[in-house]
């Protein structure tokens, strides 16, 4: 079975500085990997997904993630944080189908002025 | 398009009471899902449906039942609520399970408290 570990439960950055949210996965097969964002009291929104095409995936709002098979990682980055990026971020791994998706515990991103 | 909607937004139940959460989507998606979100645990799949009239168990199905009588609706039922079912419940839908159309669209959530 696959699993995902988000290495930080909380990350705090200053506005305008880079963002790094770390995610490691475990999977016996070639995975699909996703990052979702959840703003307070809202549902989840897809930021980006990796589906075995390019290893560097670009998403919405300036976010991107790089799939590194040798490190079993799929870290999310953004060059410059904005106040509106403050939210909870979930890394998700799927091997066979959507009913087999596994969510990480989440990373709460705080952006300081 | 409203996307995925959930009713109600909040609910407080007493132990042993029953209730039904309604999820509706207007995107003509075949696949629908119910998750629960608990602090520090991410989202866990309760039940899912791959089409009208079908349902299947997910990771944490005990204590819940579901029905998909219409393609656009997916109901989650709690027959006898327990405090352990206090959680935020999310419904989601997707066009398919295969790439590249397997993005799940989420509703705004239902916050349920069981006393």
Q: Which residues pair with A102 in a beta bridge?
A: A93
Half-sphere CA count of A79, side-chain side, radius 13 A: 2
Q: Give the pLDDT of residue B63.
A: 96
Question: Nearest CA to CA, how far is B94 from chain A (Å)?
Answer: 9
Minimal C-alpha gap between B60 and chain A (Å): 12
Residues of B with CB under 8 A from a CB of A: 4, 31, 33, 40-45, 48, 50, 56, 58, 90, 92, 94, 97-100, 102-104, 106-109
In angstroms, the CA B36 to CA B46 distance is: 7
Q: How far apart are CA A63 and CA B12, in angstroms?
A: 38
**The two structure tokens encoding residue B5:** 């909607």
Specify whether the CB–CB gap between B83 and B114 falls below 8 A: yes
The pLDDT assigned to A2 comes to 78
How far apart are the C-alpha atoms of A110 and A31, rounded to whole Å? 29
Would you state the pLDDT for residue B104? 86
Q: What is the pLDDT of residues B39-74, one digit of tens each?
A: 888 899 999 999 999 999 988 999 999 999 999 999
Tell if the CB–CB gap between A98 and B33 is shorter than 8 Å: yes
- pLDDT value, residue B103: 80
Query: CB–CB of B108 and A41 under 8 A?
Result: yes
Average pLDDT over all residues of chain B: 92
Tens-digit pLDDT profile for chain A (113 aa)?
A: 778 999 999 999 999 999 999 999 998 777 889 999 999 878 899 999 987 778 899 999 999 999 999 999 999 999 999 999 999 999 998 876 555 778 999 999 999 99
pLDDT for B100 beyond 70: no
Question: Using CA atoms, how far apart are residues A110 and B16, in angstroms rounded to an integer?
Answer: 39
pLDDT of residue B76: 98
Within 8 A of A44 by CB-CB distance, chain B residues are 43, 90, 92, 104, 106
Half-sphere exposure of A41 (CA within 13 A, CB side): 2
Strand partners, B85: none
Indicate if the pLDDT at residue B24 is higher than 80.
yes
Separation between Cα atoms, residue B83 and residue B77, nearest integer Å:
15
In whole angstroms, what separates CA A14 from the centre of its chain? 19
- DSSP-derived secondary structure letter, A15: T
Yes or no, beta carbons of B40 and A105 under 8 Å apart: yes
Instruction: Say yes or no to pLDDT of B79 above 60.
Output: yes
Close Cβ partners of A81 (under 8 Å, ≥ 6 residues apart):
A13, A14, A15, A16, A17, A18, A19, A109, A111
Question: pLDDT category, B37, cuts 50, 70, 90?
Answer: very high
Q: What is the pLDDT of residue A66?
A: 95
**Rounded CA separation A63/B47 (Å):** 31
């Amino acid at each position: 079975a696959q699993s995902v570990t988000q290495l930080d439960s909380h990350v705090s950055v200053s506005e305008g500085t880079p963002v790094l949210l770390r995610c490691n996965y475990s999977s016996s097969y070639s995975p699909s990997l996703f990052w979702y964002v959840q703003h307070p009291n809202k549902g989840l929104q897809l930021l980006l997904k990796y589906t075995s095409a390019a290893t560097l995936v670009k998403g919405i709002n300036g976010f991107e993630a790089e799939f590194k098979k040798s490190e079993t990682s799929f870290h999310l980055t953004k060059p410059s944080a904005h106040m509106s990026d403050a939210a909870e971020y979930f890394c998700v791994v799927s091997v066979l189908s959507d009913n087999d998706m596994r969510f990480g515990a989440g990373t709460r991103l705080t952006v300081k002025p | 398009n409203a996307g995925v909607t959930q009713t109600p937004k909040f609910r407080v139940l007493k132990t042993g009471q029953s209730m039904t959460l309604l999820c509706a989507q207007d995107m003509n998606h075949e696949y629908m899902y119910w998750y629960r979100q608990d602090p520090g645990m991410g989202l866990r799949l309760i039940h899912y449906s791959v089409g009208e009239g079908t349902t299947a168990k997910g990771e944490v199905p005990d204590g819940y039942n579901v029905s998909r009588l219409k393609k656009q609706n997916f109901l989650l039922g709690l027959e006898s609520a327990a405090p352990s079912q206090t959680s935020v419940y999310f419904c989601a839908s997707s066009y398919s399970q295969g790439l590249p159309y397997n993005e799940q669209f989420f509703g705004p959530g239902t916050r349920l408290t069981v006393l």
